[in-house]
């Protein structure tokens, strides 16, 4: 029997709606949600009950009975939530949409979310709290470190390495064997043909550093 899940709602709650629907479709037991913007006891996305605010991420008794999924699209919010959960003895819960495709040889870390149509290829390794959005493809032997986000329709060719908190934008492509540095951003529709340094933003085809 799977461990019950709680969804921690961050930001506007739109991403949390996506993960809740995926959890329902996957048949995962969701005990409720934590949200600051909705009063306790209220309904969130139909029948899901709000159990309290995000301060309950410090509630050790709650954390010991459930795993928590990070229902936030913003990477900084997800990282902050994860740190609070871990500091209080909790564990992250993973949600994989039943319409995604995951190789049996791939590794999907705790707290990661795979949306509808996401593909994770042979030998790929996804660390904790990654977000692979609708229709994104993570090809063979890629490695995504903590908190990496791949936007809808993003394409990572084989053996790409994305370091912590890197963001690959909507419909962006990264060619085989490249490295995307920690906290780097690949803009929507970009085609990356060389390594991207940590903390930088690249856009265009071929991708170039964004001029500020």
Task: Return contacts of 94-98, CB within 8 angstroms, 24+ apart.
Answer: 94/69, 95/5, 95/19, 95/22, 95/23, 95/26, 95/28, 95/69, 96/22, 96/26, 97/22, 97/25, 97/26, 98/22, 98/25, 98/26
Structure tokens given for 170: 């909507």
- 140 catalytic per annotation: yes
48, 69, 97, 140: the catalytic one is 140
Give the length of the chain.
212
The whole-angstrom separation of Cα 13 and Cα 151 is 17
The whole-angstrom separation of Cα 100 and Cα 136 is 10
CA distances from 182 to 146, 206, 212 (A): 10, 20, 20
Residues catalogued as catalytic: 140
């Amino acid at each position: 029997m799977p461990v019950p899940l709680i969804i921690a709602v961050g930001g506007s709650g739109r991403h949390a709606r996506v993960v809740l629907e995926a959890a329902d479709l996957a048949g995962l037991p969701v005990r409720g949600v934590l949200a600051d913007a909705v009063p306790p006891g209220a309904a969130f996305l139909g029948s899901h009950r709000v159990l309290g605010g995000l301060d309950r991420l410090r509630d050790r008794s709650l954390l010991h009975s459930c795993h928590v999924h990070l229902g936030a699209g913003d990477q900084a919010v997800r990282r902050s939530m994860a740190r609070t959960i871990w500091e209080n003895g909790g564990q992250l819960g993973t949600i994989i949409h039943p319409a995604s495709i995951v190789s049996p040889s791939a590794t999907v870390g705790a707290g990661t979310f795979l949306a509808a149509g996401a593909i994770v290829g042979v030998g790929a390794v996804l660390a904790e709290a990654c977000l692979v959005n609708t229709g994104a493809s993570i090809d063979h032997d890629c490695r995504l470190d903590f908190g990496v986000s791949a936007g809808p329709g993003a394409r990572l060719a084989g053996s790409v390495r994305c370091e912590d908190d890197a963001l690959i934008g909507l419909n962006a492509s990264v060619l085989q064997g490249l490295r995307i540095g920690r906290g780097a951003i690949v803009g929507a529709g970009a085609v990356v043909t060389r390594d991207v340094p940590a903390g930088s933003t690249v856009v265009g085809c071929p991708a170039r550093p964004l001029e500020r």
